[in-house]
Amino acid sequence: MQTTVPSSHINQILHAGLYRNTIAYLRRQNVTFIEPDMWPPNSPDLNPVDYAIWGALQERLYHGRKFGNVEQFKQAIVLEWRALSQRFIDGSINQWRRRLQAVVQENGGLIEHKFN
């Protein structure tokens, strides 16, 4: 008797393998990164892309601009993404531990008022 494995299970297995391989690679390369046991659950307050980078990108995209079509918009996104300074990105990432501590202090409550 042959057992059929749902595709969602296959995707989970593949994702778990990729995850383990990525972590192992980063460790072998001596790359500094936030260890998986420190990763919080889904929280925009703790994701640098959500709490800093998307907002900055939106400001740059929409400031005095209009797009004639989707392709122009896509091109502008790529250009503005590349124009974000590494210093800005690093600063956003460096807020992470303070934000994590604030979430713990607030028992998972809102923290945005502490960083504006």
| pLDDT at site 8 | 54
**pLDDT at residue 11 in the model:** 53
pLDDT tens-digit series, residues 20-79: 888 888 889 898 877 777 777 677 788 888 888 988 999 999 888 989 999 999 999 999
- The pLDDT, as a whole number, for residue 64 is 86
| Token code pair at residue 43 | 């929280």
Token output for 30: 């001596």
Convert the pLDDT of each residue in 82-105 to its tens digit.
999 999 999 988 888 888 889 888
Close Cβ partners of 46 (under 8 Å, ≥ 6 residues apart): 40, 96, 99, 100, 103
Show the tokens assigned to 14: 């593949």
CA distance 65 to 72: 11
- Amino acid identity, residue 54? W
- pTM, entire model: 0.58
